[in-house]
A and B are shown apart, each in its own frame.
Chain A
Amino acid sequence: MIEPGKKSNSAIRKAWPHDSAHLHVSGEARYGDDMPEPRGLLHCWLHLANRTHARIVRMDLSRVRTAPGVVAVICAADLAATTNDIGPVFPGDLVFAEDEVLFDGQPLFAVAAETREAARIATTLADIEYEDLPAILSIDAALAANAEVVPSKQWLRGDPDGAIARAPHRLSGRVRVGGQEHFYLEGQNCLAIPQEDGQMLIHSSTQNPSELQHKAAEVLGVPANAVTAENRRMGGGFGGKETQAAWFAVIAAKLAQRTGRAVKLRLDRDADMTITGKRHAFLIDYTVGFDDAGRILGIDFMQAADCGYSPDLSHSIADRAMAHADNAYFLDHLRITSKRCFTHKASNTAFRGFGGPQGMVGIEEVIEQIARYLHMDPLAVRKVNFYGVDARNVTPYGMTVEDNILDELVGELEQRVDYAARRRAIAQFNATHPYLKKGIALTPVKFGISFTAKHLNQGGALVLVYLDGSVQLNHGGTEMGQGLHIKVAQVVAEVFGIDLDRIQITPTTTGKVPNTSSTAASAGTDLNGAAAYNAAMKIVNRLVPLVRDQFKVATETAIVFRDNGVYAGDKRLASFQEIVKLAYMNRISLSAAGFYATPKLDVDALGRGRPFYYFAYGAACTEVVIDTLTGEHRMTRVDIVHDVGKSLNPAIDMGQIEGGFVQGAGWLTSEELWWDAKGRIATHAPSTYKIPAASDVPPHFDVRIYERGVNVEDGVYRSKAVGEPPLMLAISVLYALKDAVSAIGGHRRAAVLDAPATPEAVLMAVEEMQRAIAVPASHAKRPEPETATP
């Protein structure tokens, strides 16, 4: 890439506000439900099954069809001629339940009516008879029944059983981590508008317009070229609109095709949270062998994921959990078994981190257990197990870690927070506070960047330069708040050397860039920024010969695009606009499609090899206080350093780091999904599902970008992906809570505390700890743990 920095108007490495910020704050930013409604618009409502697992004995929709205002009704039978299955990779993700209901809330049919209220009322008029069937409602039940959505998978390296058997110490245990609702503030919605000649235009709140286009074409029974999917922005996605937005889009599109009228489908919050999948809950069993220093010698993991009723993306998510079972630690002899459990629940799906966070909790639990067993500070155990630079640097999937900065980065944070002194201060606090206990944890993150499915690592862009020198930018990525559009616009402005406000960002549409990958895997900027760079460079490379020719510039003099002009060395030849006009008059194309495919990736059938282009790193130190009488807790202090390579936009990156951390903290503490004994979800609204509020942010929250960060690979201007990795910084919150509970027992015993660590979970862990220390433990005579030294 051309080196930045010589331009007075350089667009990169600057804290530009989000491109839509002025529209967000004024209410002028348009979301799906804000668009002017087409004439004759129909509104759609879904009927949701109120059984967890049942045979549909009879479904009589005659009263629904004749209800006031109803124009069309569709169910699985209406899709039989094309397809009722929209599984993204494997079959099994159904638009409507067929002869069997597979989870509570599964849509049975959809109504299009003149008003939303009429549609809703009509859905209550169905006459449905069910025959209940036994349901699998937990990972444990699925494991017992060997129920899987896709086959399990295993990675083996060396001789884990032998290494564990020969190790001086062995531990076994289990940790559970709950799922998480995305709670994008804007619920799922779409608007399907029939066009002439059988075409369909679909506006959808989707992270994945291309897949949505293809799924809609399959369901409609038309070629993909008859469907255009478009999205200007989402009110949050977080993975929840990667595959599942297509579900609602195909329903609206089918109703629009049938009626010839535009159809809007906007889920209300309860339906959204009932129907759509969440982050996968995991159960992780481990057996580990280690030495006196806490160094892991052999490990055996069994990861079981709650996938819900269908495959969706669960195979990939479980793969990523396997690929993050190491987090930042070298695991030599190992076995990782991954089970993709079937349960009668909504189909769990992508969520920021995509299995990585759950995999990491597994190894952090192991670290915690080793530390308490050896009476060491957990940070010391972490450090002794970090990947090496020249040795001990091969991941469980066979990739050599070539960009390891763990020691420097963690060391920097450890020094910044004065970890050893903080430990002492906390011990002092705990000694003088009988009812409140503090805890601290400093945890690392190493997160692999790239889609693990190699073919998805491609991006496309279309750059259009107009005669006045203004530029329209289109690329395959979608904007869900993460600042992708502004970053890609910065790249294009940088290449052309023009001011950022000369770039107009346009909605993502399959009509301009085809066959795009979902905006996911943190790869939005890496893929689309690079594709846009490629497109802009194509245009620059067409202009350079023209400039040389017209201005008689010698080949040894560089042509530079900067400051809204074109230069020969230091001499300004003309404005960008003038050059553009000149190109036009000389019949040179001023638009270009750009493309990018991530290099170096190569994996075998089991996903081993080099699935990632590079790693993003970070570390967080979290301090908490718990109330041992009630289990209430809160963060008192959080310090973070996070590696974004050389940041394209520090403000946008900071937003991802802070926001990711807080979202992760919610996942591990207050965000509890709860199903009743019949498998019906009861946490389907913000009144019952508690994401963090403003006051949950710690009073001391010091987040910094790792200043020495640089991408050793050729990422966009040496930046690194930032969407997902910071979420896992919040694992420090869980382990700080465990540290506080463990403090009750003098840190001689690990807390029995799974995630989410609600006040209830913490109180029960406190009670367990108090009971346990009342009985002397077998190894209670070990010396006091030593504080980690830098």
Chain B
Amino acid sequence: MSETTISKSEVAHVANLAKLAFDDAELVQFTTQLDNILNIFDTLGEVNTDGVAPTYSVTENVNHLREDVADNWHQKQALLKNAPLEAADLIKVPAILDGEGE
């Protein structure tokens, strides 16, 4: 089985997606650490999983659903108090204009 490795540029790419800024020394450090973590998965990869269905949830719960009933927990004031800034019941954040919401 070939060993999984992660490159410095992949770490830099993921860091960028996660809005994290690393200097070169940190990039080397995290690349090494992530490499070691991925090596553990290589060990797991040695187990024969032919014919085993993928697990997406460890609880084995299926169709754990809620009836469509509205219930307002009235947490607005407490939640806004926890926001770094608020104004007129709105959460106030630095404007990000180049990005795009979904």
Partners in one complex: no
